[in-house]
Amino acid sequence: MATTAGKTSARVTVHREIRQRIITLQLPPGHPLSENELAGELEVSRTPVRESLLLLAEEDLVRVFPKLGSFVARVDPQRIADAQFVREAVEVASLTDAVERRTDEDVKALRDLLGQQRAAADDVGRFFELDEAFHQRLLTAGGHTNAWRTVEQAKAHLDRARRLGLRTVSPVSALIDQHAEIVDGLESRDLDAAVGALRGHLRAVFEDVERIRSESPELFVDSTDERPVRRSITVLQ
> What whole-number percentage of the chain has pLDDT above 70?
89
In a domain, 225, yes or no: no
How do residues 110-163 score in pLDDT, each as one tens digit?
Answer: 999 999 999 999 998 899 999 999 999 999 999 999 999 999 888 988 999 888
The reported pLDDT for the residue numbered 1 is 36
53, 74, 95: which is the final residue of a domain? 74
The reported pLDDT for the residue numbered 118 is 96
Report the range of poorest mean pLDDT among 2-11, 56-65, 80-89: 2-11
pLDDT exceeds cutoff 80 at 214: yes
In terms of residue numbers, what domain contains 56?
2-74
For residues 48 and 139, membership in a common domain is answered with: no
Q: What is the CATH number of the domain that holds 126?
A: 1.20.120.530
For residues 189 and 132, membership in a common domain is answered with: yes
For the chain, how many structural domains are there in total?
2
In a domain, 158, yes or no: yes
For residues 95 and 107, membership in a common domain is answered with: yes
How many angstroms separate the CA atoms of 200 and 195, rounded?
Answer: 9
For residues 144 and 211, membership in a common domain is answered with: yes
